[in-house]
Each structure stands twice: as structure tokens, then as C-alpha cells.
Amino acid sequence: MLNEEEISLLLTDLIDIYGYDFTGYAKPTLYRRINRLFKLRSFSGFTAFRYLLIHNPEYLDWFIAEITVPVTEMFRDPSFFLTLRNEVLPVLNNCPLIRIWHAGCSTGEEAYSLAIILKELQLLQKSVVYATDINPKVLKVAAAGIYQQDTMKHYTENYMHAGGIANFSDYYTAHYDLVKLDDQLKKRIVFSTHNLAADTSFNNFQLIICRNVLIYFNQELQQRVFTLFDNSLETNGFLGLGSKETLQFTRLNHYYQKLNQKEKIWQKR
Ligand SMILES: C[S@@+](CC[C@H](N)C(=O)[O-])C[C@H]1O[C@@H](n2cnc3c(N)ncnc32)[C@H](O)[C@@H]1O
């Protein structure tokens, strides 16, 4: 096991050398993940681990992916997407251009899910989805839009529970064990890096979706990100969070109205 001082040295290296600041991440999860990586490779000691992290870019990429948890799926929590389809996006129909920020998009499955719903509501052409993540590696996968064929059965079920009105297989073509999503879907998605712990806002949005990212942050960093979202969201705009995340105990709570009891979606007053 690495001790607190060693982990803090690693975190300082990551800031000094690569500009990645993980000091605002929730300690128990972060420390557990770093210790797991340390144990996985049977390093001779902390110095060997630190050396590899500093000198091997491939190991660094892998390390970053492991501690930032890029797990995702299409139409994750289908009822969230059903609510977007039925209660949120129709309201935005009045905007001449719908600007959506999908923060912490990982390998892009959620952004494509949103594009499918926008297409089915005939809103895709007048929407722009900025899908961002701290990790450039996952964004490459997102931009390619190529996924494992064996995930499609589950995604088809999610799509149907999310109110899908077409045949889900019309949105991809299969090649052996991979599928490629229809290129038309990504025409209105801009994938780019953005670090919620360090970067500022870059636009005004009518909808911000950031799910299953804030759970990994400590309270201070969560507050920073909520303020960033608030500064980036227009009045009457919507904020969608993950099932274990909430605005309830934050300073913003008074200025936002929860859309319904079940879904983690708030509207800015
Ligand atoms: C568990 S995934 C969630 C993906 C997707 N939103 C979902 O709910 O399925 C968390 C994502 O947050 C990203 N992330 C972690 N820290 C971040 C930061 N400081 N800024 C932007 N993205 C971050 C990770 O790279 C990862 O892709």
C-alpha cells in the first residue's frame, strides 16, 4: 500500500509535469484506485511506480483512464433520456439554435444517444452538442463512433425504454464484432477536451448534462463545477446530473427548480 505522502507526491507530479490536477477528487475513491494500480503491476516499490508514471506516456494514459473511470453506455438510465425527450427538448424547440454541453462524455455513447433523440424530434439540425472530457484518449474513441457489437442488445433495450421510435439497428452498421454509428449523428457533435477542475466556461447553453462525474469529486470541487455550470447556463436552461448526484445541498438549490421527483434534472429560474 502507498502511504498518504507518496500519493500526494504522485498527485504533485501529475500537476507539475502534465497539468492534471486530481487534488479535488474524493480521497477514498482516488486513493483506492491508485493503490489498485500500484498492486496490479507488482512494482518493486513506490520509486519504480513513480518512475514509470513520469517516463512512460502509454502508462500515463492508462493510469489517467483508470483513475477517471470512463465507464458509460448508450441511453444510460433510460428514464433520464425519456424525460429529456418528453419534457426538456420540446421546450427548447423555441430556440433558433439549441446549444448543449455534455461534460464528462467519456467514449461518447451518451452524446450519440442524445443526437438520436434530437434527430427523432427533428431538432438535430438546429442543435450543437459540445461533448467534452478531460481525457483525450476517450474522446478519440468518441469521435470514431465505433463500439463493440455485443453491447448493442443492451443498448437496444435502453433505447426502447428511452422512448425510441425507430429501429435501433438503423443507426449503425456492423462489421464483424464492431459497429459503426451513423456519421450523420456526429455532424452536430463537437468533441473536445475540457477539464472541469481547471478550465472556464466557453459558451452559453440551454442544456448541460454532466452525469456520473461529480461523484468522484470532493465538495469543494463539486461547488466549483456547479458555479461553472451556473455561469454557463441561460435562465430557464436545464441541468441534468447522474442518479447519485444532486443540487439539493448546494448554494444553487434556491435558484433551480427540480423538473420532477424522480429524474435528476433541474431548470434554472
Ligand atoms: C463514469 S464516466 C461518465 C460518463 C457519462 N457521463 C455517463 O454517465 O455514462 C466519468 C467521465 O468523467 C471524466 N472526467 C473525470 N474528471 C474530469 C474532469 N476534471 N473534467 C472533465 N471530465 C472529467 C472521465 O474522463 C470519464 O470519462
What pLDDT shows up at residue 179?
98
Assess if residue 32 is contained within a domain.
yes
Mean pLDDT rounded to a whole number for the chain: 96
Top mutation candidate among 213, 224, 225, 263 for ligand 1, by most atoms within 8 Å of CB: 213
115 inside domain:
yes
**Residue 44 domain boundaries:** 4-68
pLDDT tens-place string over residues 110-141: 999 999 999 999 999 999 999 999 999 999 99
Considering the domain architecture, whether residues 84 and 120 belong to the same structural domain is answered as yes
pLDDT at 6 over 90: yes
Q: 210 C-alpha to center of ligand 1: Å?
A: 8
Nearest CA to ligand 1 atom 17: 134
Report strand pairing: 127-133 vs 189-193: parallel
Domain of 225, CATH number, reads 3.40.50.150
Residue 241 confidence (pLDDT) above 90: yes
Atom 15, ligand 1: which residue's CA is nearest?
Answer: 68
**pLDDT tens digits along 63-84:** 999 999 999 999 999 999 999 9
- Ligand 1 pocket: which residues have CB below 6 Å? 68-72, 76, 104-106, 110, 133-135, 138, 195-197, 211-213, 242
Tell me: do 42 and 153 sit in the same domain.
no
CB 25 within 8 A of CB 198: no
Q: Give 1-7 contacts, CB < 8 A, sequence gap 24+.
A: 1/35, 1/38, 2/31, 2/34, 2/35, 2/38, 2/46, 2/49, 4/31, 6/46, 6/50, 7/31, 7/34
What is the rounded (10 degree) CA torsion for 29, 137, 145, 176?
A: -90
What's the CA-to-centroid distance between 100 and ligand 1, angstroms? 16
Task: Give 211 Cα–ligand 1 centroid separation in angstroms.
Answer: 8
Least confident of 168-172, 237-241, 259-263: 259-263
**What are the pLDDT digits (tens) for 10-55?**
999 999 998 999 999 999 999 999 999 999 998 999 999 999 999 9
Sign of CA dihedral 208, 213, 215, 219: negative
Let me know whether 61 and 91 are in one domain. no
Same domain, yes or no: 108 and 140:
yes
Domain's final residue, options 45, 68, 91: 68
Predicted pLDDT at 202: 83
Q: How many whole angstroms from 44 Cα to the centroid of ligand 1?
A: 31
Say if residues 239 and 256 touch (Cβ distance below 8 Å).
yes
Domain check: are 83 and 170 in the same one? yes
Candidates 225, 269, 268; CA nearest to 245 is 225
Q: Which pLDDT band holds residue 104 (cuts at 50, 70, 90)?
A: very high
29 and 150 housed in the same domain: no
Number of domains in the chain: 2
153 shares its domain with 64: no
Mean per-residue pLDDT, 217-235 = 97
Question: Which amino acid, one-letter code, is at 126?
Answer: K
Q: How confident is the model at residue 200 (pLDDT cuts 50, 70, 90)?
A: very high
Same domain, 135 and 196: yes
Measured from the CA of 76, which atom of ligand 1 is nearest?
9
Does residue 73 form part of some domain?
A: no
Residue whose CA lies nearest to ligand 1 atom number 14: 104
Characterise 104 by phi-psi region: left (phi > 0), alpha (psi -120 to 50), beta (else): left
